[in-house]
């Protein structure tokens, strides 16, 4: 992972420091718990409105999901 990060131009020394930061660890733990509640057990995962989708979603399906989420939000349902 560190080698890949370096190849991508990420500051690996800073990354190592950040990986030990308690605030970041707490954020990751909260995200993991939220994913468990939403039953998102892989990537990618999408939450749009009240819909949760896991796994790859093609562009037209994702656009339809977003459109539906906007319609629900605008109607106040």
Confidence of residue 77 (pLDDT cuts 50, 70, 90): low
Per-residue pLDDT reduced to its tens digit, 9-56 = 999 999 999 889 999 899 999 999 999 999 998 889 888 888 899 889
Same domain, 49 and 75: yes
Q: Are residues 51 and 76 in the same domain?
A: yes
Owning domain of residue 60: 42-77
Q: How many domains does the chain have?
A: 2
> What is the b/e burial string over 22-59, where b = at least 16 CB atoms within 10 angstroms of the residue's CB?
eeeeeeeeeeeeebeeeebeeeeebebeeeeebeebee
pLDDT at residue 73 is higher than 80: no
Whether 19 and 46 share a structural domain: no
7 confidence band (pLDDT: 50, 70, 90)? very high
Shared domain for 22 and 54, answered yes or no, is no
Is there a single domain that holds both residue 3 and residue 32? Answer: yes
């Amino acid at each position: 992972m560190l080698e890949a990060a370096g190849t991508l131009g990420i500051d690996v020394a800073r990354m190592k420091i950040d990986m030990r930061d308690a605030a970041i660890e707490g954020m990751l733990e909260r995200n993991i718990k939220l994913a468990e509640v939403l039953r998102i057990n892989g990537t990618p995962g999408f939450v749009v409105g009240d819909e949760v989708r896991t796994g790859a979603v093609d562009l037209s399906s994702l656009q339809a999901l977003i459109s539906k989420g906007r319609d629900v939000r605008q109607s106040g349902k």
